[in-house]
């Protein structure tokens, strides 16, 4: 099911946790690893830098570009070398890639070679932007990569229980099927949470969950909660507790997301456990 994992790294604290999760899962799943460092083309060729140099008495923009690119190349080399050592310490020989381009497009392109993509919840620029990799990059990768994407928090911890957020959407059906197989592969227990309106709603959801579980000849603990979807899902990850949450990504219409916001985006921005999103 999972033979190759792409880990995007930028050297930040959050990224180091993402690398730790990727290596940990690669070992458990007997998967190979691609380590990717993207030199963001917008840093050296974007309009912001051009405007900054134009407003100063410094030399023309073009004269600074080679020095900046050289510095970013060297930084990439150091980060990938640290990643290589981290992998080899665990008996893994990574395929290292250093690519210049747009971050989201590059991750998606290299991700075509992998079964999973792992991104940190925050990137190296998050102290400045408050967003890091989240926002347009993660949205683009999750929506366009066409494969599971895991967003990891700031600290690594071993996975002892897998949770699934289920809402009867087609993507949550796929997430539940996927989570069942993953729990078997990792030999970890599975639990399911669903936020429902009332007992009647819960009865219908349970019937659908039972049908999916029976198709795999397995079972799982089912918890029903009432309230706001995203808030209850996050509470569940802490109270259950679970160490990995699997959920369908952007399971409802784009119009509903624009009006009410996205449960997926809220969860990955605020989670304290890794979230594996299934399209």
Please state the separation of Cα 147 from the chain's center in Å: 11
Give DSSP secondary structure letters for 51-77: HHHHTSSSPPHHHHHHHHHHHHHHHHH
pLDDT-wise least confident of 8-22, 133-147, 219-233: 133-147
For the chain, first and last CA: distance in Å? 16
Q: Is residue 46 predicted with pLDDT exceeding 60? A: no
More confident residue, 163 or 126: 163
Can you tell me the distance from the alpha carbon of 265 to that of 138, in angstroms, rounded to the nearest whole number? 9
CA angle 182, 241, 136 (to 5 degrees): 65
Sign of CA dihedral 205, 238, 271, 218: negative
Residue 125, C-beta contacts closer than 8 angstroms, at least 6 positions apart: 132
More confident residue, 265 or 215: 215
In the chain the domains, ranked by start, together with CATH numbers, are 4-152 (3.40.50.620), 162-278 (3.40.50.620)
pLDDT score recorded for residue 66:
76
Percent of the chain with pLDDT over 90: 69
**pLDDT tens by residue, 155-190:** 999 999 999 999 999 999 999 999 999 999 999 999
Q: Is residue 21 predicted with pLDDT exceeding 90? A: yes
Question: Which band of pLDDT confidence, cut at 50, 70 and 90, is reported for residue 41?
Answer: confident
Using DSSP, state whether 84 is helix, strand or coil.
helix
More confident residue, 59 or 185: 185
Angle between helices 61-89 and 47-54 (to 10 degrees): 130
Are the C-beta atoms of 5 and 35 separated by less than 8 Å? Answer: no
Can you tell me the distance from the alpha carbon of 268 to that of 271, in angstroms, rounded to the nearest whole number? 5
């Amino acid at each position: 099911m999972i033979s190759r994992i792409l880990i995007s790294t930028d050297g930040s604290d959050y990224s180091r946790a993402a690398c730790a999760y990727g290596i940990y899962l690669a070992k458990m799943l007997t998967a190979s690893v691609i380590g990717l460092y993207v030199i963001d083309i917008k840093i050296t060729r974007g309009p912001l830098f051009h405007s900054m140099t134009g407003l100063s008495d410094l030399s023309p923009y073009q004269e600074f570009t080679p020095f900046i690119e050289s510095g970013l190349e060297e930084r990439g080399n150091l980060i990938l070398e640290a990643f290589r050592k981290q992998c080899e310490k665990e008996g893994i020989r990574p395929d290292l890639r250093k690519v210049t381009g747009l971050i989201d497009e590059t991750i998606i392109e290299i991700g075509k070679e992998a079964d999973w993509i792992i991104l940190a919840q925050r990137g190296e620029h998050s102290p400045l932007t408050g967003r890091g990799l989240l926002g347009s990059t993660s949205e683009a990768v999750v929506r366009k990569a066409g494969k599971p994407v895991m967003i990891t928090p700031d600290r690594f911890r071993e996975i002892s229980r897998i949770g699934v957020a289920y809402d009867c959407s087609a993507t949550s059906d796929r997430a539940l099927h996927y989570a069942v197989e993953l729990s078997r592969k990792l030999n970890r227990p599975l639990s399911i949470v669903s936020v429902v309106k009332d007992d009647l709603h819960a009865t219908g959801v349970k019937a659908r969950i039972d049908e999916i579980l029976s198709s795999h000849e397995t079972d799982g603990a089912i918890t029903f909660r009432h309230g706001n979807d995203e808030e209850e899902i996050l509470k569940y990850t802490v109270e259950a507790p679970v160490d990995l949450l699997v959920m369908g990504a952007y399971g409802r219409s784009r119009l509903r997301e624009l009006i009410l916001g996205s449960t997926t985006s809220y969860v990955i921005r605020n989670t304290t456990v890794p979230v594996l999103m299934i399209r």
